[in-house]
Chain A
C-alpha cells in the first residue's frame, strides 16, 4: 500500500489554475522531497493532502483512505509540521505538546510519556514549563516538530522544516528526520533547500506552474542533465579576475560567481581546465584551488523550472 497516492489532482481558485492533474505516489517508509519555486503549487498540494482544502477534481489516498471522503481516518495516520512555527505563545512548551496530543486523542499516560521523550529529543526539557513567547526561532521550530510527532504518525508532512534556522536546530531536526526514516516513518518534505533534499530524500518531485515536472531519485535526476558539468576555480585573493574574462574562454558556456570562487559551466571540463591554467599567468593571477563538478540537484531544478525543459529519461507527468 502506498503512503500517499494522488490521483489527477487539480485545483482552481477562480480563473487561476493552481494545480493541473497532479499524480504521484509515495511509498511507505520513503522520504519524499517536494521542490518548486514560490507559487508553483507546493502549499496547495500539502493543503489538499492534509484535507484542509478540497481539490477541484481528482483525489488523494493516505494509506488507502480517501482524503476527501475519509478525511478524519486519513488524518489519523499523519503528523503535520506547518511552514510557520504555529505554536501557542501564551502556553508553555508542555501545554502545547499536550494540546496537540489531545487533538489526536492520545491517551493521558501515553501523551505524557511521549511528550517527555520528545522534549528530551528536541533539547527543550529544561524549558518545558516556560511560556513559548520567549523561545528563539529554532526552539519554536523544534517544538513545532515535536507537536507533529506527538501522535507517533506513520506519515509526517514537513513544510520547510529547517528554513532560516540556527545550526543547532538544523542538526537536531535533520537527525530526527534521519531517525524517522530508519523507523519506517514516511516523510513528505517540502523545501527550498535543494541540498537538504539531495541529502535526505529517497526521491524528489519538482513542481512548476502547478504541474509535476519530474519525479525521480536525486542521482537519476542529475544524470539526465550531464551536459551541465562545471569547473570550480578559486584564485589567490590578491589577484583581480572579472567574470567577463572567464566567460570569454572558448569552452566556457556560463560563469557563476559563488562566494570567493567561480563556477564555469561547460560540456568539456578538461578543456576548460587547460584554458584556465593558460589564462592565469596571462592575467597575472594564481590559481589556489580547482575542482570539477557534476550537475547538482539545483541545476536540475533550474533546468526544469527555469527553462521548462522535459528531459529524457526522467519520469515526467506529461
Chain B
C-alpha cells in the first residue's frame, strides 16, 4: 500500500506532467501571447502615459497587472479546447485527484506568468530606475500573486463550455474591475472609504501591496497580512475549482 508521502508525490508528479504538457502546447500560441503580454502593456500605457507618477507606483502596478493577466490567460483557453478535443476526459479519468488536475493546470499559468513578469520588472529597473529595497517581499508578492491568479483562471475554466470566448468574457468581467478597485495605480490610502472597503475583497489588492513593498519597503496592510490573505485566496480558489469541476462533470 502506498503511504501518504507516496500519494502526495504521485499527485505532484501528475500535476507536473499536466503543466509540462500545457507548457509544450500553449506557451507560444498567439492568443496566449496577446492575452498575457500585450493586454497588460496597453492597460499600463492607458494608465501611465502623461500622468505624473513615481516609479515606485508605476513599476509595481505594471508588474501586478501583468501577473493578473498572464497568470489567468492559459487555462481559460486551454481547458475549453481540451474539452472540445475530449482530451480533458483523459485528465479526469487518470488515477489522480481533481486537486492534482487543478494544480497541474494552474502550474502552467503560474510559470508562464513568472516568466512574463520578468519583462516589466526588468523594464522598470532599467527604464524607470526603480530600486528594489525588499527583495523578499517582491519575490513573495510575484510568486503568490501569480499562483493566486493562475488558480483563479483554472476556477473560471471549470464552467462547462467548449468555447474559450465564453470564459474570457466572464473572466474579464472580474479582471478589469480588479485593476480599478485594488489600488494598483492609485495608492489605497488615496481611495475613498467605500473604495478602500471594496479593495479588501480583491486578491490583487494584497498582491500589488506586497509587490510595492518590494520597491518601497512598506506595505499598507503589512507583508504578513498580504501573504496570509493571498494564501487564503489560493486555497479558496483551489477548493472552489475542485468543487465546480466535480459538479460540472456530472
Q: Which residues of B contact A75 (CB under 8 A)?
A: 93-95
Among residues 19 to 37 in chain B, which have CB atoms less than 8 Å away from a CB atom of chain A? 20-21, 24-25
Q: Find the A residue at minimum CB distance from B92.
A: A52
Among residues 57 to 97 in chain B, which have CB atoms less than 8 Å away from a CB atom of chain A? 85-87, 89-97
Q: Cα distance A38–B196 when bound, in Å?
A: 57
A-B contact count (CB 8 A): 67
Give the shortest distance, in Å, between A132 (CB) and chain B (any CB): 11
The count of chain A contact residues (Cβ–Cβ below 8 Å) is: 27
With A75-B95, A105-B14 as contacts: A100 and B25 at CB distance below 8 Å: no
With A52-B249, A87-B87 as contacts: A103 and B17 at CB distance below 8 Å: yes
Q: Which residues of B contact A83 (CB under 8 A)?
A: 86
Most chain A CB within a 10 A radius of its CB, from B24, B86, B95: B95
- How would residues 1 to 27 of chain B score, 1 for a CB under 8 Å from any chain A CB and 0 otherwise? 000000100100110011011001100
Tell whether A88 is near chain B: CB-to-CB under 8 Å. yes
Q: Is the CB of B25 within 8 A of A103?
A: no
Q: Which residues of B contact A52 (CB under 8 A)?
A: 89, 92-93, 249
Q: Is the CB of A103 within 8 A of B91?
A: yes
Give the shortest distance, in Å, between A115 (CB) and chain B (any CB): 14
Tell whether B54 is near chain A: CB-to-CB under 8 Å. no
Most chain A CB within a 10 A radius of its CB, from B10, B24, B93: B93
- How would residues 94 to 137 of chain A score, 1 for a CB under 8 Å from any chain B CB and 0 otherwise? 01000110111100000000000000000000000000000000
Q: Which residues of A contact B14 (CB under 8 A)?
A: 102-103, 105
Q: Cα distance A162–B137 when bound, in Å?
A: 57
**Secondary structure class of chain B's binding surface, majority of residues:** helix
Q: Cα distance A240–B18 when bound, in Å?
A: 63
Q: Is the CB of B21 within 8 A of A86?
A: no
Q: Which residues of A contact B249 (CB under 8 A)?
A: 52-53
With A86-B87, A105-B13 as contacts: A51 and B93 at CB distance below 8 Å: yes
Q: Which residues of A contact B85 (CB under 8 A)?
A: 84, 86, 88-89
Q: Cα distance A145–B14 when bound, in Å?
A: 20
Q: Is the CB of B25 within 8 A of A50?
A: no
Q: Is the CB of B95 within 8 A of A91?
A: no
Q: Which residues of B contact A82 (CB under 8 A)?
A: 86, 89-90, 93
Q: Which residues of A contact B25 (CB under 8 A)?
A: 88, 90-91
Tell whether A302 is near chain B: CB-to-CB under 8 Å. no
Q: Which residues of B contact A2 (CB under 8 A)?
A: none
Give the shortest distance, in Å, between B28 (CB) and chain A (any CB): 10
Q: Find the B residue at minimum CB distance from A148.
A: B90
Q: Find the A residue at minimum CB distance from B88.
A: A86
- How would residues 71 to 93 of chain A score, 1 for a CB under 8 Å from any chain B CB and 0 otherwise? 01101100010111011111100
With A54-B250, A72-B96, A91-B21 as contacts: A100 and B90 at CB distance below 8 Å: yes
Q: Which residues of A contact B89 (CB under 8 A)?
A: 52, 82, 86
Q: Cα distance A133–B18 when bound, in Å?
A: 20
Q: Which residues of A contact B20 (CB under 8 A)?
A: 99, 102
Most chain B CB within a 10 A radius of its CB, from A53, A73, A76, A86: A86
Q: Which residues of A contact B86 (CB under 8 A)?
A: 82-84, 86
Q: Find the A residue at minimum CB distance from B86.
A: A86
Q: Cα distance A231–B25 when bound, in Å?
A: 57
Most chain B CB within a 10 A radius of its CB, from A73, A102, A147: A102
Q: Is the CB of B93 within 8 A of A53?
A: no
Q: Is the CB of A95 within 8 A of B90?
A: no
Q: Which residues of B contact A100 (CB under 8 A)?
A: 90
Most chain A CB within a 10 A radius of its CB, from B10, B90, B96: B90
Q: Is the CB of B93 within 8 A of A104?
A: no
Q: Is the CB of B97 within 8 A of A103?
A: no
Q: Cα distance A117–B211 when bound, in Å?
A: 51
Give the shortest distance, in Å, between B17 (CB) and chain A (any CB): 4
Q: Which residues of A contact B10 (CB under 8 A)?
A: 105
Q: Find the A residue at minimum CB distance from B9.
A: A105
With A86-B86, A103-B17 as contacts: A91 and B94 at CB distance below 8 Å: no
Most chain B CB within a 10 A radius of its CB, from A54, A100, A104, A147: A104
Among residues 93 to 131 in chain B, which have CB atoms less than 8 Å away from a CB atom of chain A? 93-97
- Which residue of B7, B17, B87, B92 contacts A88 across the interface (Cβ within 8 Å)? B87
- Which residue of A53, A73, A86, A89 contacts B90 across the interface (Cβ within 8 Å)? A86
Q: Cα distance A211–B127 when bound, in Å?
A: 70
**Residues of B at under 8 Å CB distance from A?**
7, 10, 13-14, 17-18, 20-21, 24-25, 85-87, 89-97, 249-250
Given contacts A84-B85, A90-B25, 5 further A-B contacts (CB under 8 A): A83-B86, A84-B86, A87-B87, A89-B85, A105-B13
Listed by A's residue number, 15 A-B pairs whose Cβ atoms lie within 8 Å are A52-B249, A72-B7, A75-B95, A76-B95, A84-B85, A91-B25, A99-B17, A103-B17, A103-B18, A103-B90, A103-B91, A103-B94, A103-B95, A104-B95, A105-B13
**Residues of A at under 8 Å CB distance from B?**
50-54, 72-73, 75-76, 80, 82-84, 86-91, 95, 99-100, 102-105, 147
